[in-house]
Amino acid sequence: MSTITFAPQVSYHPRSVRLTRRGRLVVFAFGVLLAFALGVWFAAGSVATDEGGVEQVEVVTVAPGETLWDIAADAAAATGEGDVADMVDRIQDMNSLDSSMVLAGQELRIPTE
């Protein structure tokens, strides 16, 4: 008698994955949640400062004969800024002035920093 051996041949055929409509929705939702979580994680690294966004001001009453240029020159000297014209522009913006004309007794907000 003869001995016969059978060697089974195993072949692997990868099957393609097919998702149902619900499976595609789950994969999409997972991707959106992952992107949202990464966005929150990166945004958490931003640093806030202790300083507020509000500029420190002093209220000054315009004296008789005083001009906006005089007030701006005093404020520029007090804050250490050398350019008086820039200070005039800042004061006009802070007080919503259309021109550089001021009246005696008028109260103006002046930057102190």
In-domain check, residue 17: no
- pLDDT tens, N- to C-terminus, the chain (113 residues): 567 777 777 777 777 778 899 999 999 999 999 999 999 888 877 666 666 667 788 999 999 999 999 999 998 888 887 788 999 999 999 898 988 889 999 999 998 87
Residue type, 17: V
Does residue 76 fall inside a structural domain?
A: yes
Domain of residue 65, CATH code? 3.10.350.10
Q: What is the DSSP letter of 99?
A: S
Domain count, the chain: 1
Q: For residue 33, is it within any domain?
A: no
- Per-residue CA distances from 113 to 7, 30, 81, 87 (Å): 90, 50, 9, 11
Q: Evaluate whether residue 47 is within a structural domain.
A: no
Report if residue 70 sits inside a domain: yes
45 domain residue, yes or no: no
The answer as to whether 13 is a domain residue is no
- pTM, 2 dp: 0.52
Its domain, for residue 94, covers: 57-111
Strand duo 107-111 + 57-61: pairing: antiparallel
- The residue length of the chain stands at 113
